[in-house]
Amino acid sequence: MVLLRASGLSKTYGQGRLRVEALRGVSLSVEPGEAVALMGPSGCGKSTLLNLLGLTLPVTSGELVVGGEPAPTRERERARLRNEFFGYLHQEFAIVESDTVAANVTIPLEYARPRVGRRQRLERARRVVESVGLGWALRRRAAELSGGERQRVAIARALVNEPSLVIADEPTAALDLATAGEIVTLLLSMRQLGASVLVATHDPRVAERCDRVVGMADGRLVAEETGISTD
Ligand SMILES: Nc1ncnc2c1ncn2[C@@H]1O[C@H](COP(=O)(O)OP(=O)(O)OP(=O)(O)O)[C@@H](O)[C@H]1O
């Protein structure tokens, strides 16, 4: 079964003179356990596409199938899928600095249905935080951690619900080279847990480690990127 399939997706922002056609008929599938990199110049529509596929923005037109079912239009159902099917990782990490690592990582579990009890939430957070190598930091406040460590916290939070697809938007943009490499290793290791990864990136080093690279330009998919170098 294809995990996610988009056919002819379009997205228009604004109206009249402010109208922007951000996506123009994009078709893309993601298979279970696959890592797909999305590359293209700034403004070509990568974040927009990730937001449509991850159900954080409504499509203007086109078809989207998530886990074998047409993507729901009702917000309640979309919220459920966002929580159960997807994990999200952003460039800005979106970590609550004043909270502990444990509190940050349990956030998605607080919205899980059926409900997950407090003790179980903490146990799952502990396991996933240990799996990203931050077991020692469980009770530390996020503000006390380095950028790379915070991104590990964000990965732990993206994984705690055992998502089928992790959507990552420029997850290494704010990190130095060595830390970015570690984060990509961690991100791609999610495949061993059965998750797929869809990552928008400007960094060829990230893209070359994915199973497939999809190029984008001006709101459309273009031929797969070639000539990726590791320089
Ligand atoms: N909320 C919005 N309202 C209006 N236009 C928008 C909005 N969000 C994005 N756009 C426009 O849509 C186009 C695609 O933007 P998007 O952020 O998807 O590109 P991107 O490829 O992710 O860029 P970058 O690599 O710089 O993050 C751009 O022209 C952008 O200005």
Decide whether any atom of ligand 1 lies within 6 Å of the 14 Cβ: yes
Q: How far is residue 118 CA from its own chain's centroid?
A: 26
pLDDT at site 131: 87
In sequence order, what DSSP letters do the residues of 165-211 get, joined into one string?
EEEEESTTTTS-HHHHHHHHHHHHHGGGGT-EEEEE-S-HHHHTTSS
- Quickly state the pLDDT bin for 229 (edges 50, 70, 90): very low
Q: Which tops the pLDDT comparison, 36 or 89?
A: 36
- Quickly state the pLDDT bin for 202 (edges 50, 70, 90): very high
Decide whether any atom of ligand 1 lies within 6 Å of the 44 Cβ: yes
Using CB atoms within 10 A of its CB, is residue 24 exposed (0-12), middle (13-18) or buried (19+)? Answer: middle
Helix H segments across 85-176?
A: 101-110, 118-131, 147-159
Interface ipTM? 0.97
pLDDT digits 0-9 by tens, 139-150? 999 999 998 899
Q: Whose CA is nearest to atom 3 of ligand 1?
A: 13
CB–CB of 3/164 below 8 Å? Answer: yes
Q: pTM of this prediction? A: 0.90
Question: Token pair 């380095």 is at which residue?
Answer: 146
pLDDT at site 48: 96
pLDDT at site 209: 93
- Quickly state the pLDDT bin for 224 (edges 50, 70, 90): low
Q: How far is the CA of 59 from the centre of ligand 1 (A)?
A: 14
CB proximity list for 77: less than 8 A, separation 6 or greater: none
- Quickly state the pLDDT bin for 3 (edges 50, 70, 90): very high
Q: Which CATH number fits domain 32-58+70-226: 3.30.1050.10, 3.40.50.10490, 3.40.50.300, 3.40.1390.10?
A: 3.40.50.300
Ligand 1: which atom is nearest the Cα of residue 49? 18
Q: Is the pLDDT of residue 58 over 80?
A: yes
pLDDT digits 0-9 by tens, 29-44? 999 999 999 999 999 9
